[in-house]
Amino acid sequence: MNATKEIIKQAAINLFYKKSYFATAMSNIALDCNIRKASIYYHYASKEDILFDILITTMTELTAYIETCLQGIENIENKMRAAVRAHVKFHCDRQKEVLISDSELRGLTANNYKSFVALRDAYEKKFQDMIDQGMDQGYFATGDTKIISYAILTMCTAVANWFKPEDRLTGDQISSMYEELVVTRLLRESLPLHSFETSVLEE
């Protein structure tokens, strides 16, 4: 992406975050970029194109980040721990983009909406597959995989609503707390006692 297009995109992210997508005009973006409004159209055909670029890029980069964090991990519990940590950390680091992704989908036309949702569904499927695998191997308590995945992702995504970098806990600290909450308290708490006895004996 060239420098001017990136400047336009970053200005749009800040404005969509502060004012909302629908309350932001192309003239607002141009003013923040210190360029003429007409210059934006050299890079983006419409305001929706900017929004779509933000959403697709954010979802693509989140997926790539999770995949990188999972590389080389075989044990399914450790995999889920890494995935939860990565998801929460990303949402702490990229608050503006993920909040826009959650709140401004109504700004997309049907085809763009379908394209984004397909990426989001594929991402959610990664968590569902890990949950299924963990249940099959006896690491996680059994239940409705989709509902469990929605509960986990909704809880972990919500960190973007309240996280403040200047507060007492860092994104790394919070992501570790969420990892423990999700895996130990939610996914494992209903396992039969013998599962924990076996785990202790193996240590």
CATH of the domain at 57: 1.10.357.10
Q: List C-alpha distances in Å: 203 to 76, 122, 196, 198, 199.
A: 17, 36, 11, 9, 7
Q: What single-letter amino acid sits at 89?
A: K
Confidence at residue 141, expressed as pLDDT on a 0 to 100 scale = 87
**176 & 152 share domain:** yes
Rounded to whole angstroms, how far apart are CA atoms 163 and 174? 9
Confidence at residue 199, expressed as pLDDT on a 0 to 100 scale = 43
Confidence at residue 203, expressed as pLDDT on a 0 to 100 scale = 39
Rounded to whole angstroms, how far apart are CA atoms 128 and 144? 10
Q: Assign residue 35 the CATH number of its domain.
A: 1.10.10.60
Q: Which of 171, 148, 62, 40 is nearest to 10 (CA)?
A: 40
Confidence at residue 189, expressed as pLDDT on a 0 to 100 scale = 63
**94 & 163 share domain:** yes
Instruction: Give residue-wise pLDDT tens across range 42-59.
Output: 999 999 999 999 999 999
Confidence at residue 1, expressed as pLDDT on a 0 to 100 scale = 65
Instruction: Give residue-wise pLDDT tens across range 135-173.
Output: 999 889 888 999 999 999 999 999 999 999 899 999 999
Give the mean pLDDT of the chain: 91
Confidence at residue 129, expressed as pLDDT on a 0 to 100 scale = 97
**21 & 108 share domain:** no
Residue 71 belongs to domain spanning: 47-202
Task: Give yes or no for a contact between 140 and 188, defined as CB atoms under 8 angstroms apart.
Answer: yes
Task: Give yes or no for a contact between 80 and 134, defined as CB atoms under 8 angstroms apart.
Answer: yes
Task: Give yes or no for a contact between 151 and 129, defined as CB atoms under 8 angstroms apart.
Answer: no
Residue entry with tokens 């989140």:
62
How many structural domains are present in the chain? 2
Residues with Cβ within 8 Å of residue 160, at least 6 apart in sequence: 91, 92, 94, 95, 98, 99, 102
Residue entry with tokens 């006692």:
193
Give me 176's structure tokens. Answer: 């570790």
Rounded to whole angstroms, how far apart are CA atoms 178 and 186? 10
Confidence at residue 186, expressed as pLDDT on a 0 to 100 scale = 76
**171 & 83 share domain:** yes
**112 & 39 share domain:** no
Task: Please identify every stretch of the chain with a pLDDT value under 70, giving residue numbers as ranges.
Answer: 1, 189-203
Q: List C-alpha distances in Å: 185 to 63, 137, 190, 193.
A: 25, 18, 9, 14
Q: What single-letter amino acid sits at 157?
A: T
**40 & 79 share domain:** no
**61 & 29 share domain:** no
If one counts every other C-beta atom within 10 angstroms of the C-beta of residue 109, the result is 10
**121 & 155 share domain:** yes
pTM over 0.75, yes/no: yes
